[in-house]
Amino acid sequence: MEIEASNQSKPFVESIKFILDFYFGTIEYTTISTFADQSTQKFDLKNAVEILKSFHLTTLQRTMNPNDIPEHFYPSIIINTENDILVCCKKSNNVMTVFNPLTLKLEALDVTLLSHYKSVLLIVKDSESNSSITSKYTKPWFFEPLKSHWRSYVEIGILTLFINIFALAIPLFTMSTYDRVVPNKAYETLFVLASGTLLILIFDIILKHSRNHILENVSRKLGSLWEEELMRKIILTDTHYDHLTTGSKANLFKELQHVRDFFTIRSLMQIIDLPFFFIALSVIYIISPTMAIIPLLISIGIIAFNLLMQIPIARLNKNQSHTLQTKNSFIFESIQGTESIKVHNALPHKLFSWRNIVALSDGIATKIQSLHVFSMNVSQFLVQVVVISVLVVGVFEISKQHLSVGGLIAITILASRAIVPIVNLSGILIRLKDVGESIERINHFFALPSENTHKIEAGLGKLEGKIELKNVSYSFHKSKYPSLENISFNIYAGERVGIIGQTGSGKSTLVKLLLKLIQPSQGSIYIDNHDLSTLHPVEIRQNIGYMPQDPFLFNGSIKDNIDLSKPINKTKMMEILKLTGLEDLIKKSGQGDGLNVGERGANLSVGQKHLVALARSLVNQAPIIILDEPTTGLDVGLEKKLILNLKNNLSTEQTLLVITHRFAALDLVDRVIVMNEGKIVADGPKEKILQALQNSTQKGSV
Ligand SMILES: Nc1ncnc2c1ncn2[C@@H]1O[C@H](COP(=O)(O)OP(=O)(O)O)[C@@H](O)[C@H]1O
Ligand SMILES: [Mg+2]
Q: Is the pLDDT of residue 553 over 60?
A: yes
Nearest bound ligand to the CA of residue 502: 1
Contact by Cβ (8 Å): 527, 550: no
Q: Is the pLDDT of residue 123 over 90?
A: no
Which pLDDT belongs to residue 692? 87
Which residues neighbour 221 within 8 Å (Cβ) at sequence distance 6 or greater? 145, 149
Query: 680 C-alpha to center of ligand 1: Å?
Result: 15
Residue 295 exposure: Cα atoms within 13 Å on the Cβ side: 30
Helix axes 274-287, 150-166, angle to 10 degrees: 30
Say yes or no: CB of residue 660 within 6 Å of ligand 1. Answer: no
Tell me which residue has its CA closest to atom 7 in ligand 1: 476
Query: 629 C-alpha to center of ligand 1: Å?
Result: 15
Most distant CA pair in the chain: distance in Å?
Answer: 122
Q: Is the pLDDT of residue 48 over 90?
A: no
Which pLDDT belongs to residue 266? 66
Verify cis geometry, omega within 30 degrees of 0, for the bond prior to 75: yes
- Provide the mean pLDDT of the chain: 86
Say yes or no: CB of residue 483 within 6 Å of ligand 1. Answer: yes
Query: Which of 472, 476, 484 to mutate for ligand 1's pocket (most ligand atoms within 8 Å of CB)?
Result: 476
How far is residue 559's CA from residue 557's CA, in Å, rounded to a whole number? Answer: 5
Say yes or no: CB of residue 93 within 6 Å of ligand 1. Answer: no
Query: 601 C-alpha to center of ligand 1: Å?
Result: 24
Say yes or no: CB of residue 503 within 6 Å of ligand 1. Answer: yes
| Amino acid residing at 623 | P
Query: 182 C-alpha to center of ligand 1: Å?
Result: 89
How far is residue 398's CA from residue 133's CA, in Å, rounded to a whole number? Answer: 64
Say yes or no: CB of residue 196 within 6 Å of ligand 1. Answer: no
How far is residue 43's CA from residue 474's CA, in Å, rounded to a whole number? Answer: 39
How far is residue 442's CA from residue 319's CA, in Å, rounded to a whole number? Answer: 16
Say yes or no: CB of residue 508 within 6 Å of ligand 1. Answer: yes
Q: Is the pLDDT of residue 603 over 50?
A: yes
* Residue 183 burial class via C-beta count within 10 angstroms: exposed 0-12, middle 13-18, buried 19 and up: exposed
Atom of ligand 1 nearest to the CA of 509: 17
Say yes or no: CB of residue 299 within 6 Å of ligand 1. Answer: no
> Is residue 131 very low, low, confident or very high in pLDDT (cuts 50, 70, 90)?
very low
Atom of ligand 1 nearest to the CA of 628: 23
Say yes or no: CB of residue 551 within 6 Å of ligand 1. Answer: no
Atom of ligand 1 nearest to the CA of 506: 17
Query: 314 C-alpha to center of ligand 1: Å?
Result: 40
Which pLDDT belongs to residue 262? 83
Which pLDDT belongs to residue 126? 58
Atom of ligand 1 nearest to the CA of 507: 21
Q: Mean pLDDT over residues 625-644, rounded? A: 88
Element housing 547 (H / E): strand 544-547
Residues paired with residue 673 on neighbouring β-strands, in sequence order: 499, 683
Say yes or no: CB of residue 550 within 6 Å of ligand 1. Answer: no
- Tens-digit pLDDT profile for residues 436-489: 888 888 888 888 888 765 566 667 778 889 999 999 999 988 788 899 999 999
Nearest bound ligand to the CA of residue 477: 1
Which pLDDT belongs to residue 454? 56
Q: Mean pLDDT over residues 497-507, rounded? A: 92
Query: Which of 244, 473, 483 to mutate for ligand 1's pocket (most ligand atoms within 8 Å of CB)?
Result: 483
Query: Which of 240, 485, 507, 509 to mutate for ligand 1's pocket (most ligand atoms within 8 Å of CB)?
Result: 509
Atom of ligand 1 nearest to the CA of 478: 4
Domains in the chain (CATH in brackets) are 2-130 (3.90.70.10), 135-446 (1.20.1560.10), 467-699 (3.40.50.300)
Sheet with 95-100: strands ordered across: 57-63, 119-125, 76-79, 85-92, 95-100, 105-110
Say yes or no: CB of residue 482 within 6 Å of ligand 1. Answer: no
- Tens-digit pLDDT profile for residues 364-419: 999 999 998 998 899 889 889 999 999 999 999 999 988 898 899 999 999 988 88
Say yes or no: CB of residue 661 within 6 Å of ligand 1. Answer: no
Q: Mean pLDDT over residues 483-500, rounded? A: 94
Say yes or no: CB of residue 345 within 6 Å of ligand 1. Answer: no
Tell me which residue has its CA closest to atom 2 in ligand 1: 476
Query: 696 C-alpha to center of ligand 2: Å?
Result: 24
Say yes or no: CB of residue 240 within 6 Å of ligand 1. Answer: no
Say yes or no: CB of residue 506 within 6 Å of ligand 1. Answer: yes
Atom of ligand 1 nearest to the CA of 675: 21
- Tens-digit pLDDT profile for residues 246-291: 888 888 898 898 888 887 666 777 777 788 899 999 999 999 898 9
Helix (H, G, I), strand (E, B) or coil at 693: helix
Tell me which residue has its CA closest to atom 6 in ligand 1: 476
Atom of ligand 1 nearest to the CA of 512: 17
Which pLDDT belongs to residue 285? 93
User: Among residues of the chain, what percentage have pLDDT more than 70?
Assistant: 95
| pTM more than 0.75 | no
Nearest bound ligand to the CA of residue 679: 1
Residues paired with residue 544 on neighbouring β-strands, in sequence order: 624
Say yes or no: CB of residue 507 within 6 Å of ligand 1. Answer: yes
